[in-house]
């Protein structure tokens, strides 16, 4: 006899009873500064992988750390349901974004702190906290019943925040071990507080560096300005030329592959309760003036491409004035993509555009950093329904179907390689400060989300 999910001695009860310990363990995980972008943190990133392995092993999974050409993968497996039972693949990432600027944190990024119902730490929401919830859901089932209704593989990578450059070869190499009918990912947000969501789309990404170089060395801007072309001016002109006044991207051919959102998806978006003013206020701007005119903010965020400068560097930016004509200028520029755009095609178009528009007297070079294809859910069947029931039982509200403007690079490739469908159910909240100072995860979402993940296994 196995205990029912919600019964005394069942997995739900176990998860509730062990909550304090779960928070302590999550804090331990969050204390490891597994910043994948910085090589000085490589030992920490490796430590986080081992922590996760040990933790999955303690939860009752077979677990190991496997190498890649970059940061390692922590893999957990439970195959007790037998070869004929379906397999679920849980994907997440244990790496985090750099915490800087440190002075903007109210408590240190790697010293987790609970305030006002929020657990603050780098990675609390993206994605350590959410990945941890999955491990705890598995532990709760295995502890309460000794078994799960399906086989489970947990694939936790350490390079998501740098574009997952080595995960595809890993997945290809270990394809048989990763074989699964469904991929489940919690690395996103709910639509609103109290309102769980299932995602039906993610945008893709094409990320570049633009380098403009001019004179052999920095020059006196009086002695040379007006005769020598300034690379910063030139780059600024190029950057300004990437967008039209109406917000459309000005790179010729850019929209050729952009599919108009289908009417059904648009109607679904319009039916969502979205308060544009509150959203603007939350991020501290007067109006939502980015992107294309004539389309709603959610449509612009979820179903239309965008172009953003992520960083710029050139010349003198210190205190006071320095009259200088810089020898070089650099900008980081990213494009978010929608079906049927590909990062490769966008790269070709951007390179051509820059070549055709580079002002005389400077040399402009485009370096492609990472890319990812956009994703759309194929899934509206049984698994979707199971997840919806689990979320409804835990949050007291049926989930809404929502899109997402961010990117999870491996999703499309995992689906293609494994011939699987993906379920994206996230438990962060809007405003969770992913990638920003004071990242947080609501304790209520952690608890209800964990509850939902425990239920998911019984609903499947």
The footprint of ligand BES (CB under 6 A) covers 126-127, 160-161, 163, 187-189, 205, 370, 372, 404, 406-409, 434
For the window 117-136, what string marks contact with Mn ion as x by the rule CB under 5 A? ---------xx---------
In the bound state with ligand BES, the residue whose beta carbon lies nearer, of 174 and 332, is: 332
CB of 426 vs ligand BES, minimal distance in Å = 6
In the bound state with Mn ion, the residue whose beta carbon lies nearer, of 188 and 243, is: 188
In the bound state with ligand BES, the residue whose beta carbon lies nearer, of 101 and 320, is: 101
Contacted entry of ligand BES, Mn ion, none for residue 205, CB cut-off 5 to 8 Å set by kind: ligand BES
Contacted entry of Mn ion, ligand BES, none for residue 404, CB cut-off 5 to 8 Å set by kind: ligand BES
Window 255-274: residues binding Mn ion (CB under 5 A): none
Contacted entry of Mn ion, ligand BES, none for residue 403, CB cut-off 5 to 8 Å set by kind: none
CB of 304 vs ligand BES, minimal distance in Å = 16
Contact flag: residue 404 with Mn ion (CB under 5 A): no
Of all residues in the shown chain, the one whose CB is closest to ligand BES is 406
In the bound state with Mn ion, the residue whose beta carbon lies nearer, of 13 and 407, is: 407
Contacted entry of Mn ion, ligand BES, none for residue 188, CB cut-off 5 to 8 Å set by kind: ligand BES
CB of 283 vs ligand BES, minimal distance in Å = 14
In the bound state with Mn ion, the residue whose beta carbon lies nearer, of 160 and 459, is: 160
In the bound state with ligand BES, the residue whose beta carbon lies nearer, of 50 and 370, is: 370
Contacted entry of Mn ion, ligand BES, none for residue 362, CB cut-off 5 to 8 Å set by kind: none
CB of 65 vs ligand BES, minimal distance in Å = 21
Window 175-234: residues binding Mn ion (CB under 5 A): 187
How many Å apart are CA 269 and CA 279, to the nearest integer? 15
How many Å apart are CA 283 and CA 430, to the nearest integer? 10
In the bound state with Mn ion, the residue whose beta carbon lies nearer, of 187 and 451, is: 187
CB of 404 vs ligand BES, minimal distance in Å = 5
Contacted entry of ligand BES, Mn ion, none for residue 409, CB cut-off 5 to 8 Å set by kind: ligand BES
In the complex, the residues that contact Mn ion under the rule CB under 5 A are 126-127, 187
């Amino acid at each position: 006899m196995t205990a029912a999910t919600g019964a005394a001695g069942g997995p739900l009860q176990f998860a509730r009873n062990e909550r304090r310990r779960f928070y302590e363990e999550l804090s331990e995980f969050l204390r490891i500064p597994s910043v994948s972008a910085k090589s000085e943190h490589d030992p920490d990133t490796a430590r986080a992988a081992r922590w996760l392995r040990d933790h999955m092993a303690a939860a009752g999974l077979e677990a190991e750390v496997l190498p890649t050409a970059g940061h390692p993968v922590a893999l957990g497996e439970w195959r007790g349901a037998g070869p004929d039972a379906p397999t679920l693949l849980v994907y997440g990432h244990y790496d985090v974004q750099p915490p800087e600027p440190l002075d903007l944190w109210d408590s240190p990024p790697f010293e987790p702190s609970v305030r006002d119902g929020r657990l603050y730490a780098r990675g609390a929401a993206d994605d350590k906290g959410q990945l941890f919830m999955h491990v705890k859901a598995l532990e709760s089932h295995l502890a309460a019943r000794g078994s799960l209704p399906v086989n489970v593989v947990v694939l936790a990578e350490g390079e998501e925040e740098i574009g997952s450059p080595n995960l595809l070869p890993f997945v290809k190499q270990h394809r048989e071990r990763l074989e699964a009918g469904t991929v489940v990912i919690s690395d996103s947000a709910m639509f609103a507080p109290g309102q769980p969501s299932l995602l039906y789309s993610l945008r893709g990404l094409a990320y570049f560096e633009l380098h403009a170089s001019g004179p052999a060395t920095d020059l006196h801007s009086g002695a040379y300005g007006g005769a020598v072309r300034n690379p910063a001016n030139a780059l600024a002109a190029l950057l300004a030329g990437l967008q039209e006044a109406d917000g459309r991207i000005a790179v010729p051919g850019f929209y050729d592959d952009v599919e108009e959102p289908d009417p059904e998806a648009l109607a679904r978006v319009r039916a969502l309760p979205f308060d544009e003013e509150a959203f603007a206020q939350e991020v501290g701007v007067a109006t939502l003036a980015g992107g294309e005119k004539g389309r709603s903010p959610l449509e612009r965020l979820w179903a239309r491409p965008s172009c953003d400068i992520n960083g710029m560097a050139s010349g003198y930016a210190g205190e006071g004035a320095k009259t200088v004509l810089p020898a070089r200028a650099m900008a980081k520029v990213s494009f978010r993509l929608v079906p049927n755009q590909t990062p490769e095609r966008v790269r070709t178009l951007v390179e051509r555009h820059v070549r055709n528009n580079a002002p005389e007297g400077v040399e402009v070079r485009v370096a492609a950093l990472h890319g990812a294809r956009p994703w759309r859910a194929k899934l509206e069947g049984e698994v979707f329904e199971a997840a919806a029931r689990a979320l409804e039982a835990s949050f007291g509200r049926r989930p809404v179907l929502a899109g997402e403007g961010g990117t999870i690079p491996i999703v499309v490739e995992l689906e293609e390689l494994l011939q699987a469908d993906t379920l994206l159910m996230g438990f962060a909240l809007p405003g969770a400060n992913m990638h920003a100072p004071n990242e947080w995860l609501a304790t209520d979402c952690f608890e209800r989300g964990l509850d939902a993940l425990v239920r998911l296994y019984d609903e499947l």
